[in-house]
């Protein structure tokens, strides 16, 4: 089952801080479970940012619009070195 939640941010730094906080919370919560009950949320939770240039608005639910925590952290942080070299 896939669920979606949309959150809008007034400021880029707030969005970066939120992503960091929520991803750490998800991973921490999963780590507190017994091994057999773990969901490995860090592998299944994805993020989508309609305001990024790479976002395909013609197919908003497409797999290529979804990013892992690592990819999302890079994509929304303009100071990340990946943006200097033009790759994500």
Report how far Cα 31 is from the mean position of its chain's Cα atoms: 19
**What's the pLDDT score for residue 86?**
62
**What's the pLDDT score for residue 82?**
82
**What's the pLDDT score for residue 39?**
75
For the chain, the three-class secondary structure string (H helix, E strand, C coil) is CCCCCCCCCCCHHHHHHHHHHHHHHHHHHHHCCCHHHCCCHHHHCCECCCCCCCCCCCCCCCHHHCECHHHHHHHHCCCCHHHHHCCC
**What's the pLDDT score for residue 48?**
86
Residue 26 structure tokens: 């998800």
**What's the pLDDT score for residue 29?**
79
pLDDT digit string, tens, across residues 51-81: 888 888 898 888 888 888 888 888 888 888 8
Q: Do 47 and 72 touch, CB atoms closer than 8 A? A: yes
pLDDT digit string, tens, across residues 25-54: 877 877 888 888 877 776 777 888 888 888
Orientation of helix 12-31 relative to helix 69-76, angle to 10°: 160
- Separation of alpha carbons 26 and 81, rounded Å: 26
């Amino acid at each position: 089952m896939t669920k979606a939640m949309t959150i809008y941010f007034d400021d880029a730094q707030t969005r970066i801080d939120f992503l960091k906080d929520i991803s750490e919370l998800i991973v921490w919560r999963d780590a507190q479970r017994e091994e057999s009950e773990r969901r490995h949320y860090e592998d299944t939770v994805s993020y989508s940012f309609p305001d990024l240039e790479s976002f395909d608005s013609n197919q908003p639910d497409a797999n290529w619009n979804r990013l892992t925590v690592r990819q999302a952290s890079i994509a929304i942080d303009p100071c990340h070195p990946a943006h200097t070299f033009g790759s994500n």
